[in-house]
């Protein structure tokens, strides 16, 4: 465990079970919108943040000793979106680090051998292929990536942009070329380990981290660029300091300033990815970049109170129906804002939102796709 038992119990006892962390706004006349996707979808107390804390307490104090299906579902059907943490902090001024505690809880369960088969299978796929999807081929995107080591900027692509949403990797690579930025990709990129760390399989992640650290050192890069906030968060918070700069694509693009983009004449809504916004505090840069190319309209739940797309924390693989429902709720919200497209800055968000938007008349993009499209040349 990263946290001490007493530290965990103290945090748990600071929760007064008010459940206010499950509501996004307390407007006196308008409807109160939900904030916790798992609680809203499943409806039981155990699926809200205070319920999960109570389960953790009961496990630590020896009151729960059987891995029932209900218990496993309550623990693992949480996207670790962090909305509860932000809301609780805002209301109580006490920092109960909820997603961190829920990850600890999963680690405790895994140590007891109480995990989901789906998550175990992902770990096996990673062991075999070094990517979370068990893909045997090296890359799935079209654009020819340069793996010549020696340039300052390295693009860490990540499993989802490589194998499930390759248009994001393609767009980023084309942006580098269009802007004349010399870049490299890793000769042998392995999964960052995020899915293992989020599902409590901490030991299995270590070998991946060691490999990626060595490869990045070998590359000589000074800046590592990510289009995946999940990978970026993992490198920032879980990897030891590598003395290299870690930046999200939207941070890099903001820094470049005048990119000579042409406006696309679109009205869009920006969806904050949980790992980018709540975990890393990056709210402004994606909006600033997007405003350069499109008209950005607000949705009702944004920034710290953004509604999660539903795919994080191992939920997409294990609880597909819940994940898709959560994304569908976001698509409805974007429709309510009267836009033609919802734009995120995360391959995982794009994948899930796109699936939910099928037949809904709502387009789904990543910020880098629109920037690439709007760059002259
Ligand atoms: S986590 Fe915070 S807001 Fe949520 S029930 Fe506990 S004290 Fe209330
Ligand atoms: S992390 Fe997200 S899904 Fe999990 S309890 Fe908190 S608000 Fe609900």
User: Are residues 221 and 265 both part of a single domain?
Assistant: no
Distance CA 366, CA 39 (A): 28
Cα(92) to centroid of ligand 1, in Å?
8
Mean pLDDT of 102-123: 97
Identify the H or E element spanning 86: helix 83-92
| pLDDT confidence tier of residue 1, bands split at 50, 70 and 90 | low
The response to whether residue 21 sits with its C-beta less than 6 Å from ligand 1 reads yes
Cβ neighbours, 10 Å, residue 201:
21
- 146 within domain boundaries: no
Distance CA 316, CA 347 (A): 13
Query: Is the CB of residue 146 less than 8 Å from the CB of residue 109?
Result: no
Q: What is the pLDDT of residues 271-300, one digit of tens each?
A: 999 999 999 999 999 999 999 999 999 999
The domain that contains 286 carries what CATH number?
Answer: 3.40.50.1860
Q: Is the pLDDT of residue 95 over 70?
A: yes
Distance CA 20, CA 103 (A): 21
Distance CA 356, CA 324 (A): 6
The response to whether residue 94 sits with its C-beta less than 6 Å from ligand 1 reads no
Cβ neighbours, 10 Å, residue 194:
28
Residue linked to tokens 């809203």:
40
Residue 258: the pLDDT is 77
Q: Indicate the top mutation candidate among 15, 87, 95 to test ligand 1's pocket, ranked by most ligand atoms within 8 A of CB.
A: 15
User: 90-94, 109-113, 315-319: which has the minimum mean pLDDT?
Assistant: 90-94
Residue 30: the pLDDT is 83
Quote the domain boundaries for residue 172: 153-255
Residue ending a domain, among 255, 275, 303, is 255
Residue ending a domain, among 255, 289, 323, is 255
- 62 within domain boundaries: yes
Distance CA 58, CA 363 (A): 45
Distance CA 318, CA 272 (A): 23
Distance CA 270, CA 263 (A): 16
Mean pLDDT of 327-353: 98
Cα(61) to centroid of ligand 1, in Å?
20
Q: Indicate the top mutation candidate among 81, 82, 323 to test ligand 2's pocket, ranked by most ligand atoms within 8 A of CB.
A: 81
Distance CA 377, CA 374 (A): 9
Residue ending a domain, among 65, 94, 115, is 115
Cα(98) to centroid of ligand 2, in Å?
8
| pLDDT confidence tier of residue 51, bands split at 50, 70 and 90 | very high
- 286 within domain boundaries: yes
Q: What is the pLDDT of residues 171-229, one digit of tens each?
A: 999 999 999 999 999 989 999 999 999 999 999 999 999 999 999 999 999 999 999 99
- 128 within domain boundaries: no
Distance CA 253, CA 260 (A): 12
Mean pLDDT of 108-133: 96
Cα separations (Å) of 78 from 59, 75, 136, 231?
18, 7, 30, 19
Mean pLDDT of 89-96: 92
Distance CA 148, CA 331 (A): 40
The domain that contains 106 carries what CATH number?
Answer: 1.10.1060
The domain that contains 239 carries what CATH number?
Answer: 3.40.50
Residue linked to tokens 């932000």:
86
- 250 within domain boundaries: yes
User: 100-114, 130-144, 307-321: which has the minimum mean pLDDT?
Assistant: 130-144
SS in 3 state form for 300-332?
CCCHHHCCCCCCCCCHHHHCHHHHHHHHHHHHH
Cα(85) to centroid of ligand 1, in Å?
8
User: Are residues 81 and 161 both part of a single domain?
Assistant: no
Cβ neighbours, 10 Å, residue 14:
13
Q: What is the pLDDT of residues 235-259, one digit of tens each?
A: 999 999 999 999 999 999 999 887 8
Report the relative pairing of strands 245-248 and 267-270 from DSSP bridges.
unpaired
The response to whether residue 13 sits with its C-beta less than 6 Å from ligand 1 reads no
User: Are residues 249 and 326 both part of a single domain?
Assistant: no
| pLDDT confidence tier of residue 377, bands split at 50, 70 and 90 | low
User: Are residues 194 and 278 both part of a single domain?
Assistant: no
Q: What is the pLDDT of residues 257-266, one digit of tens each?
A: 878 889 999 9
Q: What is the pLDDT of residues 59-74, one digit of tens each?
A: 999 999 899 999 999 9
Q: Which residue's CA is the nearest one to ligand 2's atom 2?
A: 81
Q: Indicate the top mutation candidate among 19, 50, 75, 79 to test ligand 2's pocket, ranked by most ligand atoms within 8 A of CB.
A: 79
The response to whether residue 158 sits with its C-beta less than 6 Å from ligand 2 reads no
Residue 57: the pLDDT is 97
Mean pLDDT of 152-164: 96
Residue 29: the pLDDT is 84
Q: Indicate the top mutation candidate among 88, 91, 100, 308 to test ligand 2's pocket, ranked by most ligand atoms within 8 A of CB.
A: 308
Cα(336) to centroid of ligand 2, in Å?
24
- 188 within domain boundaries: yes
Residue 192: the pLDDT is 98
Q: What is the pLDDT of residues 214-224, one digit of tens each?
A: 999 999 999 99
The response to whether residue 356 sits with its C-beta less than 6 Å from ligand 1 reads no
- 49 within domain boundaries: yes
Mean pLDDT of 160-180: 95
Domain count, the chain: 3
Distance CA 81, CA 314 (A): 11
């Amino acid at each position: 465990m990263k946290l001490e038992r007493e530290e965990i119990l103290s945090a748990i006892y600071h929760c007064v079970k008010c459940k206010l962390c499950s509501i996004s706004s307390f407007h006196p006349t308008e409807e109160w919108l939900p904030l916790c996707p798992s609680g809203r979808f499943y409806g039981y107390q155990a699926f809200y943040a205070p319920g999960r804390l109570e389960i953790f307490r009961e496990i630590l104090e020896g009151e729960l000793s059987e891995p029932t299906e209900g218990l496993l579902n309550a623990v693992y059907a949480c996207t670790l979106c962090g909305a509860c943490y932000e809301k609780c902090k805002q209301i109580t001024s006490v920092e109960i680090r909820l997603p961190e505690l829920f990850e600890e809880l999963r680690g405790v369960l895994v140590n007891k051998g109480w995990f989901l088969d789906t998550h175990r299978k992902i770990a096996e796929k990673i062991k075999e292929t070094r990517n979370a999807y068990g893909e045997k081929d090296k890359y799935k995107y079209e654009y020819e990536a340069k793996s010549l080591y020696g340039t300052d900027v390295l693009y860490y692509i990540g499993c989802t942009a490589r194998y499930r949403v390759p248009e994001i990797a393609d767009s980023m690579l084309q942006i580098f070329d269009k802007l004349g930025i010399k870049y490299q990709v890793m000769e042998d990129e392995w999964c960052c380990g995020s899915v293992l760390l989020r599902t409590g399989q901490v030991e299995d992640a270590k070998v991946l981290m060691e490999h990626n650290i060595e490869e990045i050192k070998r590359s000589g890069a000074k800046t590592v660029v990510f289009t995946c906030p999940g990978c970026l968060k993992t490198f920032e918070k879980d990897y030891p300091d590598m003395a290299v700069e870690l930046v999200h694509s939207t941070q890099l693009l903001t820094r470049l300033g005048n990119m000579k983009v042409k406006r696309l004449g679109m009205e869009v809504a920006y969806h904050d990815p949980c790992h980018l916004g709540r975990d890393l505090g990056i709210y402004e840069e994606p909006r600033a970049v997007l405003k350069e190319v499109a008209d950005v309209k607000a949705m009702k739940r944004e920034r710290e109170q953004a509604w999660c797309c539903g795919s994080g924390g191992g939920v997409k693989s294990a609880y597909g129906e819940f994940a898709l429902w959560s994304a569908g709720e976001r698509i409805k919200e974007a429709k309510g804002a009267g836009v033609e497209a919802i734009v995120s800055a995360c391959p995982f968000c794009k994948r899930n939102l796109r699936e939910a938007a099928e037949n809904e008349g709502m387009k789904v993009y990543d910020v880098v796709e629109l920037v690439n499209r709007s760059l002259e040349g």
